[in-house]
Structure 1
Amino acid sequence: MPIAIKMPALSPTMEEGTLSKWLVKVGDTVSSGDIMAEIETDKATMEFEAVDEGVIVSIDVAEGSEGVKVGTVIATLAGEDEDASAPAPKAAPAPAPATTPTPAATPAPSPAPAPAPVAAAAPAPKGDRVVASPLAKRIAADKGIDLAGVKGTGPNGRIVKADVAGAQPATAPVVASAPAATPAAAPTPAPAPAAASVPDFGIPYEAQKLNNVRKTIARRLTEAKQTIPHIYLTVDIQLDALLKLRGQLNKALEAQGVKLSVNDLIIKALAKALLQVPKCNVSFAGDELRSFSRADISVAVAAPSGLITPIIVDAGAKSISTIATEMKELANKAREGKLQPHEYQGGTASLSNLGMFGIKQFDAVINPPQGMIMAVGAGEQRPYVVDGALSIATVMSATGSFDHRAIDGADGAELMQAFKALIENPLGLVA
């Protein structure tokens, strides 16, 4: 039997996708596990593996096709007894119906039941079901062969291609043509809504179609700003002790090939702060509030297709070196579009760091259904009061965005205080 390859659901939220690229062509033999195509989902571009073995007999959806619904047949494999070189049979065009003049204002009548034919092909005797391969049935139909009179040589008497290749066609009975009924008028399709017209004011521009990731980002961030009441809390944090500890740890880890970034330490600090202030490690879910027992930190990564947030699972319980190793692997996979759904879906809170771009401070948009996101800016030399005296220190501004439906301002302030304390006294991160 031919095997239909359908558009897969590569993530729980995927309803449609873009078939970015075919990596096979008609006539190729594929085995289970072979990469067949690259599919762009609402989150990333992912590789699609073959499950069955066979020969590609048709590519039903061209590469570059957008909005392909999950479950749509995108290709076909040759099955048992199938001739891989033969194209799939095409449906014969329906004969043109006889037209009967009808007044324009009068609806077309329902078609009358067709009279029974004068003679019909003799049915196979009851209890003797004809068992034949799809290819044998197709050849028999093309040649007008009655399979009831063909002896099968396949397994369990199954009729195969060789059995019908030399068989003679049966004499076709004469069948009287039934009078064609006047077809009902086809409903007029509703016109497609016109695209929103955005004036360009005569300024030269180049239009680019949005990919699925960018469409999802636009939809989710619009939803977040429209439905989540954000509250923003900012603190200034001295980084000198953290930078000193990082240097010492990197020296100790040099032999292992591990290099810690400031961001790795900040991930750990946010996770530990959430565990210290569990009222902020929550999610608003309609008529209930979900409080999480571990801190999974989603970390914003800029990928070619758009922003994506791979997750460090249970970051509060992991060592900083483990966080650094996982973060490096996840960031590389994100930039290559190879993240798996479990690597970017979930998380109890998010971290967005624009310090590497010299951004001093910014307010981030909450990533629903999470309850908060921490936005950190660049560490820079600033005048700072240390032990009652003005001095120069490396200072970073951090802003927490909180879902005010789930987190009160006082609880958010407590989290910011815990986060600041962990970074300014960083030995607590390795304890």
Structure 2
Amino acid sequence: MIMASAFGHFGRRSLKFSRSLRHILQYDPCSIAQRSASEFRLFHLDRKREASIPIQMPALSPTMTEGTIVKWHKKEGDPISPGDVLCDIQTDKAVVSLDTEEEGVLAKILKQENTKDVLIGSLIAVMVEEGDDWENAEIPTSSDSSSESSQSSGSSDTETTATPTARIRMSPAARKLLEEYNISSPHTVPATGPHGMINKGDVLKYAQSKNLSKIDLASVKAPHTEKPTSAGKTSAVQPAQAVPRAPPTVSVSPDGGFQDIETTSMRRVIAQRLTQSKTMIPHSYMSIECNVDAAMNLRKKFIDSGTKVSLNDIIVKAAGYSLQRVPKVNSHWAEESVQVQSSVDISVAVATDSGLITPIIRNAVNLSISQISTTTKELAVKAREGKLQLQEFQGGSFTISNLGMFGIGEFSAIINPPQTAVLAVGTSELKPSVEGKPHSYLTVKMSYDSRAIDESEASEFLEKFQSVLENPSTLLV
């Protein structure tokens, strides 16, 4: 496609050049060689400029607003073919490899390795077509650099805050939706339109993922300020839209009372999503106590046969079995409807140095306990190494968070939107029974979105879960 479009452009340039040549022959035959050479040089420069292919920071996850260049796999002057990996980018969730469908030569790397907080849409590199002079390739003009220079030159607060919005291209319909959903920063909306343009569908998808509701713009009256005119009168003007400022830099106190720890992009996103979840989702809670003697015996049988499984693997299988029988809990909240998911995809919380991440066990209900164990271990290793692919942690229909290995008896977890429920699992404890023999019990507490799940549905799910966990032989069928 690139070659075809480039050929069409060069064909038009050649036609323009031939017309110019005919013009020279008609009016100034003595200067044909000199002027045609000049025309050719101009044509070559235009060709080189048009052949430049900008490479921008992409949106590699729905919640990503900026990224960090971890490693470049190509260096300047290297040939590039479709499917080649250009670089590794750390998103708000994991390290993702950026590949390309273009063909050419990597001319300039504009963002070096370990460059942090690169905004989506920012220019990170430039390619040229094969055969072009890559060493002298021109860098496309970027509004990103002009905005940085305007900020560093001491521009006013209004100019500085207005600059980020000016860097974003969007359709009129998208701009209106941003206002209706009260989205103050368009940088948070992943753009899928041509040349990084935000379209209507991008805003609707973002608003749905964040459970945002429309506001009545007519009822929102912006305050007016009085601006003196040249005639000495005053006129009403709208105040500039406020853009959230970056948090102030905290310095260490003289007595050494505290120490700053840099917040990773993952932890910033976690903080935003947790705040959104607790403020926007009406959490309800329900817990149940399960006898896990039979589950522990089943685990021992697996280990004795040479297959290492954990109690959590059996819990995941039991949850998948229960979700299949109470499908309302296996759902997403879509603001105006409940979307029951066709596949039981269970997210399992994994703690990493950068923060909590939830890799997904796809189609868990149809996997054996040993398959769940193998999948969970592989995903946990990739999560801690930051090597999860996008499809391995984005999505999911239900979440399990297990703190039993830390000795936590019972806790409440926060729902991961757009999911409607999360199961918090504590540690097992020995408790005496009426016959005097101690049994192992663990308490699970489900947090559920009361907009999507009724109390009767939540209790039905927990009863199914308790029943199958206490009789795990049904999971082997």
Instruction: Tell me the TM-score normalised to structure 2 length.
Output: 0.63
CA shift for structure 1 position 59: 1.3
Give the counterpart of 2:302 among 238, 249, 262: 249
Contact 1:383 1:390 in 2 (8 A): no
Please name the residue that 1:16 is paired with.
66
Please name the residue that 1:426 is paired with.
472
Please name the residue that 2:391 is paired with.
342
CA shift for structure 1 position 220: 0.5
Q: 2:464 matched to 1:411?
A: no
Contact 2:128 2:137 in 1 (8 A): no
Please name the residue that 1:229 is paired with.
282
Aligned partners of 1:363 and 1:326: how far apart in 2? 26
CA shift for structure 1 position 400: 0.8
Please name the residue that 2:371 is paired with.
322
Please name the residue that 2:136 is paired with.
86
Equivalent AA in structure 2 for residue 7 of structure 1: M
Aligned partners of 1:311 and 1:53: how far apart in 2? 34
Q: Which runs of 5+ in 2 are unaligned?
A: 1-50, 142-239
The 1:429–1:73 alpha-carbon spacing in structure 2 relative to 1, beyond 3 Å, is same
The 1:293–1:195 alpha-carbon spacing in structure 2 relative to 1, beyond 3 Å, is closer
Aligned partners of 2:62 and 2:243: how far apart in 1? 32
CA shift for structure 1 position 284: 2.4
The 1:210–1:287 alpha-carbon spacing in structure 2 relative to 1, beyond 3 Å, is same
CA shift for structure 1 position 283: 2.6
Give the counterpart of 2:432 among 384, 398, 401: 384
- 1:4-403 alignment, distance < 5 Å: 4-86=54-136, 88=138, 193=245, 195-196=247-248, 203-252=256-305, 254=306, 258-380=307-429, 382-385=430-433, 388-403=434-449
Equivalent AA in structure 1 for residue 247 of structure 2: A
Aligned partners of 1:191 and 1:308: how far apart in 2? 29
Aligned partners of 1:193 and 1:219: how far apart in 2? 16
Please name the residue that 1:112 is paired with.
none
Contact 1:18 1:41 in 2 (8 A): yes
Aligned partners of 1:81 and 1:29: how far apart in 2? 10
Aligned partners of 2:243 and 2:80: how far apart in 1? 42
Aligned partners of 2:355 and 2:137: how far apart in 1? 40
SS in structure 2 at match of 1:389: coil
Bigger share in helix: 2
Q: Which runs of 5+ in 1 are unaligned?
A: 92-187
SS in structure 2 at match of 1:390: coil
Instruction: Tell me the TM-score normalised to structure 1 length.
Output: 0.69
CA shift for structure 1 position 345: 1.4
The 1:383–1:421 alpha-carbon spacing in structure 2 relative to 1, beyond 3 Å, is same
Aligned partners of 1:237 and 1:81: how far apart in 2? 69
Equivalent AA in structure 1 for residue 469 of structure 2: I
Equivalent AA in structure 1 for residue 260 of structure 2: A
CA shift for structure 1 position 405: 1.4
CA shift for structure 1 position 351: 0.2
* Identical aligned residues as a percent: 42
CA shift for structure 1 position 34: 3.9
Equivalent AA in structure 2 for residue 296 of structure 1: D
CA shift for structure 1 position 298: 0.7
SS in structure 1 at match of 2:289: strand
Q: Larger radius of gyration, structure 1 or 2?
A: 1
CA shift for structure 1 position 53: 4.4
SS in structure 1 at match of 2:436: strand
Residues 365-393 of structure 1, C-alpha deviations (whole Å, 9 max, x = no match): 0111111100111123x2232xx323212
Aligned partners of 1:89 and 1:407: how far apart in 2? 54
The 1:193–1:50 alpha-carbon spacing in structure 2 relative to 1, beyond 3 Å, is closer
Aligned partners of 2:360 and 2:473: how far apart in 1? 24
SS in structure 2 at match of 1:374: strand
SS in structure 1 at match of 2:432: strand
Contact 2:431 2:439 in 1 (8 A): yes
Equivalent AA in structure 2 for residue 84 of structure 1: W
Question: What value does the CA root-mean-square deviation take over the aligned residues?
Answer: 2.8
CA shift for structure 1 position 327: 1.5
- 4+ long deviations beyond 6 Å: 197-201
Greater relative contact order (CA < 8 Å, ≥ 6 in sequence): 1
Aligned partners of 1:81 and 1:281: how far apart in 2? 54
Contact 1:18 1:212 in 2 (8 A): no
Contact 1:359 1:378 in 2 (8 A): yes
Aligned partners of 1:51 and 1:283: how far apart in 2? 33
Equivalent AA in structure 1 for residue 334 of structure 2: A
CA shift for structure 1 position 343: 1.3
Please name the residue that 1:3 is paired with.
53
The 1:194–1:368 alpha-carbon spacing in structure 2 relative to 1, beyond 3 Å, is closer
